[in-house]
Amino acid sequence: MTTTTLTARALLLDMDGTIVNSDAVVERCWRRWAEEHGLDADEALKVVHGRQGYATMAVLLPDRPMELNHEDNRRMLEAETADIDGVVPVPGAPAFMAALAGLPHALVTSADRALSDARMGAAGLPMPAVRVTAESVGASKPDPEGFLKGAAELGFDARDCVVFEDSEAGITAGKAAGMRVVGVGPRAAAHAPDVAVADLTRVRVQAAPDGGILLTITEG
């Protein structure tokens, strides 16, 4: 195994698939939606991760009016918020988040505030003081807007931030923002993050002597 050390001034964390495992809910809700629209559910599930729901629907049904996607997205968010069965922390996430207490970090998620409250609560993880949710941005990942906004709210340049992400859309967004990206979980390595780990048990967080953040990462 290879050990990599990264230094940062702030960390920007995706939620689903990165610190919270919500795959069971995502699969239930999106399979139902795909079947309602005559789509292959297995193929649909390959593109749902990382994006806001309306953006996923636009990929899957490119000729469909966007207002219908936004209507379905609202219903999807309500269904996902009400369903927390099987929502658990990603291995290592509780210790990872505890180590970040007092260090600059933000949640940058495609979920809205209600869904992020529900899933972070179900996983037993502390909500960062700074979070960028669906309501905060005009464009979904892979657009970098969310990560750039998170960095700005924390008061740091993009080059001083490290992103933690699991999806192609999220990794693309982090790179487009000019940030280094740590890929987490089974989906991440295929999308060329700077470093890839199986889960957060492979990441050690420490306060650096200069006030920054020192990450010791065991790849794999």
Check: CB of residue 178 under 8 Å from CB of residue 76. no
From the list 16, 72, 112, 143, the catalytic residue is 16
**Is 63 among the catalytic positions?**
no
151, 148, 196, 187: which is closest to 6 by C-alpha? 196
pTM, whole model, 2 decimals? 0.92
**Is 143 among the catalytic positions?**
no
Instruction: Tell the residue number behind the tokens 């936004």, with chain if given.
Output: 70
184, 190, 187: which is closest to 202 by C-alpha? 184
pLDDT in tens, the chain (220 residues): 799 999 999 999 999 999 999 999 999 999 999 999 999 999 898 888 888 999 999 999 999 999 999 999 999 999 999 999 999 999 999 999 999 999 999 999 999 999 999 999 999 999 999 999 999 999 999 999 999 999 999 999 999 999 999 999 999 999 999 999 999 999 999 999 999 999 999 999 999 988 899 999 998 6
172, 169, 125: which is closest to 21 by C-alpha? 125
From the list 14, 143, 166, 199, the catalytic residue is 14
Report the SS3 class of residue 117.
Answer: helix
Class for domain 3-22+87-218, per CATH? alpha beta
